[in-house]
Structure 1
Amino acid sequence: MRSRSLWFVTLATAGIVLGSALATAQAPAPAPARPAALSDNLPIPDAPAPATSKAWLVMDYATGQVLAGENIDTPVEPASITKVMTSYVIAAEMAAGKVKPTDQVMMTERAWREGGAGTDGSYSGFEVNQAAPLVEMEKGMVVQSGNDAAIALAEHVAGSEQAFAQLMNAYAKKIGMKASHFVNPHGLTAEGHVTTAHDLALLGRALIRDFPEAYSYNKIKEFTVGPITQPNRNLLLWRDPSVDGIKTGHTSSAGYCLMASAKRGDQRLITVVMGDTSENQRAVDSQALLNWGFRFYESHQLYAANKSLATQKVWKGDADSVQVGVAQPLLVSTPRGKYERLKASMELPKSLVAPIAKGQKLGTVKVALDGKVVAEAPLVALQGVEEGGFFKRLWHALLMWWAE
């Protein structure tokens, strides 16, 4: 189908207006923007880049937009942040009915020897050859970063660490983690066990969105197994009440790593700092990035799902028009005070011919700030249009020929 010229749209403070010479429609209005401040015309200062980390980023949770970062797609070792992927797999398999939170998970001798107290890594404290409910074993993995618990859980869910790693890679691909490969569930150094800061942020976003109960374990400050009580290693849980996750990691080769998330008001941010120099430094660097992101950026919903943004003529149908909109809410992250400068355009075909299925993609809406596209989404049919009768189709065929 031939494309028509773009319909230009101005996102005004009072709302979003879509228009063209042929049709005009009022889109749902976002929340009114606040009055402009003197600082709104100033450039945003650079993000406080961690001086010693290998890679870092700040991501807006609602949009998945990276607000700032360095080396975000460079392969790095994930260390114990790997366990976030393990948590995601367990939650997904639980949602599919393959395992239950009440399952009795055995702390096998292999899991205990390779990840227990006798090793150099973190451990949960569950006794060897004893079973515990899956949900308790998972908390031992998440809060205490127990390598032994991660191995035991992997064996329970998939039979072996190797089989579980295959599940990890399959789910990673589904999430959109394009440069990650996992070979174990705990994150101890292994050949080919790599990820990126960007992929980890996508993983954290997916866990929060898809499995909020599993995510909630990450804010538990301490966990007790038998006589042993261990604290969560995420220092930000004690320093910032808005922080509710996500996971720390450390090996001699990976350095000190932290994936953090905080929610202030309706806005949530995710930060990733990889390869820092100390436990305290990764917390300090992550805190600075969170403060910067919340201070200088804000999120907006521009279009609600399944709400009409425009009405488009349809030829040869049992209806003469179809309403178009977005199937999912269209959100955007913008520098604070720049909301009024957003501009949008819609690309729609010159002619639509029935039949049209509900949900069928018909075009695209793009939102730009200062000429740079910051968000886009498919425009879909909000209702189906069946073919019209024989004589209507014949008549419209003639009209379409005449309109050429």
Structure 2
Amino acid sequence: MSLRLALTTLAVAVWAVATPAAAQDNFQTTVRNAILFDVGTQSVLFEKAADELQAPASLAKLMTMAVIFEELRQGRLRLDQEVVISEDAWRRGGAPSRTSSMYAAVNSRVKVQDLMRGVVIQSGNDASIALAEAVSGTEANFIPVMNSRARALGLTRSVFRNSTGLPDPEQRSTAREIARLADHIIRAHPEHYGLYGEREFTWGGIRQQNRNPLLGTYPGADGLKTGYIEEAGFNLAGSAVQNGQRLIVVVMGARSLQERSNEARKLLDWGFRSFELRDLFQENEMIGDVAVFGGSQGTVPVTAGKPVRLLLPRGQSDRVTAQIVYRGPVRAPVRQGAEVGMLRVLRGSQVALEVPVFAAADVGTGTLSQRALQGAWELATGWIRTGTARP
């Protein structure tokens, strides 16, 4: 039996706009690239040229820290571990470099937890290189680790060539992938994310302020990172929480510090003001059924296992539709909790949200006669499923 991509269209009793396309038409930004992302629903609320590859500048340090956080989680690095500041880290990223620096002294020993603050708060290039060396021996050896981790996180287009974000013609990322990276850091590493909200850090008697213009000035702002090189312009990945809702904003290619700050604020204001959260399916609610081949029964009920919610533009309404998309029929036996497909929520033909669905019950292997009957049914009706399938 060949497996086909099957669709089950659900009747969803919700009147609402499931995608911000119409609302987005009423909002504009002056920056070259931007995206606004809701963490709770994993929804994009606004985007402008969000898939264009651009120089990330110091936003590349988000990838550096994503690797460091994972090394800490795996026990390959310790917060109290001391790292020697090499001449290379000092010369290319420290005081002699005349770039953003922690100002760690050459050959000094600095704990990992202090280097992390040097990267996150001070945007220290010396701290970034020193952490790369702590993981891989040299910064050059750290680069494949960055790119491998990026691919594992779903950053398919980003290319990292150093740990600092300093100019390199091959180092590129997109607003969408920077937002995805920020989302990962926030959700996967809450024990370290608080660093991004710290306002200042002093090392070697030199006190430096966090460069994020949202901290302390925008309600609920608690991260993440700024960046600037001449090629990139002024970049920012920021996040804020209001009334339990967390948004991530990424702006790239701003022409000034002021434009970067103003446009990030405008996007956040618009996102918090213009959308409301609606429930589509409750936690563990039976969403529909998926066909089963060779089982003791012909279908299995499915659930998302968690509430399915959408952010909807205020004051607008339209019909939402949903489909269960799966490779099927699913072969028996099926175990409760097994992922069997995807819930796809649409407005018209545009996909607004996709979440995995799971079997809500066990389905054992059917008797010989049941399997024979199902096989005959598959041969007789398979063309119908093929006709409704979508690639």
- C-alpha distance after superposition, 1:259-316 (max 9, x if no partner): 1111111211111111212222211111011111111123445345655323567675
| Root mean square deviation of aligned Cα | 3.0
Secondary structure at 2:352 match in 1: strand
Q: In the alignment, which of 8, 11, 15 is matched to residue 9 of structure 1? A: 11
Which residue of 1 is the match for residue 28 of structure 2?
48
Which residue of 2 is the match for residue 22 of structure 1?
none
Secondary structure at 2:13 match in 1: strand
Secondary structure at 1:290 match in 2: helix
Q: In the alignment, which of 207, 216, 228 is matched to residue 238 of structure 1? A: 216
User: C-alpha displacement at 1:377, in angstroms?
Assistant: 3.3
Which residue of 1 is the match for residue 128 of structure 2?
150
Which residue of 2 is the match for residue 89 of structure 1?
67
Answer whether contact 1:56 1:271 (CA < 8 A) is retained.
Answer: yes
Answer whether contact 2:294 2:374 (CA < 8 A) is retained.
Answer: no
Secondary structure at 1:10 match in 2: coil
Closer/same/farther in 2, CA of residues 43 and 316 from structure 1, 3 Å limit: closer
| Matches of 1:175 and 1:2, distance apart in 2 | 28
Which residue of 2 is the match for residue 138 of structure 1?
116
Closer/same/farther in 2, CA of residues 382 and 148 from structure 1, 3 Å limit: same
Which residue of 1 is the match for residue 141 of structure 2?
163
TM-score normalised by L of structure 2: 0.85
| Matches of 1:286 and 1:402, distance apart in 2 | 57
Which residue of 2 is the match for residue 369 of structure 1?
347
- C-alpha distance after superposition, 1:160-212 (max 9, x if no partner): 11111111101111111122111111111013111111111111111111112
Q: In the alignment, which of 180, 201, 204 is matched to residue 226 of structure 1? A: 204
Q: In the alignment, which of 147, 156, 176 is matched to residue 154 of structure 2? A: 176
Closer/same/farther in 2, CA of residues 319 and 251 from structure 1, 3 Å limit: same
Secondary structure at 1:11 match in 2: coil
| Matches of 1:219 and 1:60, distance apart in 2 | 19
User: C-alpha displacement at 1:215, in angstroms?
Assistant: 1.9
Closer/same/farther in 2, CA of residues 166 and 386 from structure 1, 3 Å limit: same
Answer whether contact 1:331 1:375 (CA < 8 A) is retained.
Answer: no
Matched residue type, 1:287: R
- C-alpha distance after superposition, 1:219-272 (max 9, x if no partner): 111111131110011111121131111101112222211111111112111111
Residue 371 of structure 2 corresponds to residue 393 of structure 1: no
TM-score normalised by L of structure 1: 0.82
| Matches of 1:350 and 1:190, distance apart in 2 | 47
Answer whether contact 1:124 1:140 (CA < 8 A) is retained.
Answer: yes
| Matches of 1:284 and 1:94, distance apart in 2 | 35
Note the residue ranges of structure 2 that are not aligned, 5 or more in a row: 17-21, 381-391
Answer whether contact 1:11 1:340 (CA < 8 A) is retained.
Answer: no
Note the residue ranges of structure 1 that are not aligned, 5 or more in a row: 14-32, 34-41
- C-alpha distance after superposition, 1:126-170 (max 9, x if no partner): 222111210111101110111111111110111111111111101
User: C-alpha displacement at 1:106, in angstroms?
Assistant: 1.6
Closer/same/farther in 2, CA of residues 103 and 339 from structure 1, 3 Å limit: farther
Closer/same/farther in 2, CA of residues 384 and 288 from structure 1, 3 Å limit: same
| Higher RCO by CA contacts (8 Å cutoff, separation 6 or greater) | 2
